[in-house]
Every structure is written in C-alpha cells, then in structure tokens.
Structure 1
Amino acid sequence: MTGLTTSTMVILEGGPRDLPKRVVPGPILDGRLKIQFRGGYEHFEATDHRRETPFGVLTVYEWTLRTEMAE
C-alpha cells in the first residue's frame, strides 16, 4: 500500500469472511466500492461510522451485495 494515506483508505465490514484485505484504498467520489473476488464483485457502500485502526480512524464501508462476472 505504498503511497496511500489514511484519507484514501477505508475499512470493509461484512461480505465473505475470507476476503483477503479489510483495509483498502477507498473510492474518490460516490461512496461505493467494488472489490473483485472469486469470479465476481463484492459491493460495499460508505456508512457514517468510523473505526480506529492501525492506519488511523477510517470510514466503515458495509457489504451490500455480490454480482457475478459475465463470461
């Protein structure tokens, strides 16, 4: 995660338990985030919640749904 600051990172809650990363670069504009995982996408949306992490206080993004990739 070289070059990232805490203002560009978010923490993910919900979704697959085995999602490899829970602190990820966040979206810049719309408050939505799509993570590619196991042949599909896990969708997360911003909440009003914040959580203390080793990276500082980050916005919590909650899982909303999964979509499959088109073949």
Structure 2
Amino acid sequence: MTDNGYDSTVVVVLEGGPATLPQTMSVQWTSGLSKIKIPHRGGHEHFELIETAVPPPDQPVFRWTTRTKVAE
C-alpha cells in the first residue's frame, strides 16, 4: 500500500466462499475499500472486509457474504 493508502495493489486474504477460489488474491486497493466482488463460474462472489488481518497489517481479510448470478 502506498503511504497515503490510495491506488496500490495489495494481496488480500479471502475467508469462506467456494473451495475453487484462491485463498489470497491481488486487488487494487483504494481508500474506503470495504467490499469486493469476484466473477466466478457464471456469477459473482461477494466479500466484505473484516477487522482481523492475518498477519497484521499487510493482508486485509475479506469474508465471503453471498453469491449472485450474472443478470441475463
């Protein structure tokens, strides 16, 4: 993460969700990022930032919340 916390690529930990998703992923980090949506097998897996980071503070942890289908 850059010193100001804006526009950098960081590795995040993904907790929960389908077993076919990786446990970590690189994402574009911006100030205020609290949710991510990952395209996966005809839908989207939704994750929300949780307070815990493993190991702190470099890898934010996102917990799976739901899956949505791609609109047709």
CA RMSD of aligned residues (A): 2.1
Q: Mean alpha-carbon deviation: is it higher for 43-52 or for 15-24? A: 15-24
Q: Which segments of 5 or more consecutive residues in structure 1 lack a partner in the other structure?
A: none
Deviation >6 Å, runs of 4+: none
Q: Is the 8 A contact 2:14 2:22 kept in 1?
A: no
Amino acid at match of 1:40: G
Query: How far 1:30 sits from its partner (Å)?
Result: 3.6
> Paired residue for 2:68?
67
- When normalised by structure 1's length, the TM-score is 0.73
Query: How far 1:27 sits from its partner (Å)?
Result: 4.4
Amino acid at match of 2:71: A
Q: Is the 8 A contact 1:11 1:58 kept in 2?
A: yes
Equivalents in 2 of 1:58, 1:69: separation in Å?
29
User: Would the alpha carbon gap of residues 30 and 57 (structure 1) be closer, same or farther in structure 2, given more than 3 Å must change?
Assistant: closer
- When normalised by structure 2's length, the TM-score is 0.72
2:40 paired residue among 34, 37, 42: 37
User: Number of paired residues?
Assistant: 63
Query: How far 1:11 sits from its partner (Å)?
Result: 1.0
Q: Which segments of 5 or more consecutive residues in structure 2 lack a partner in the other structure?
A: 1-7
Q: Is the 8 A contact 2:13 2:25 kept in 1?
A: yes
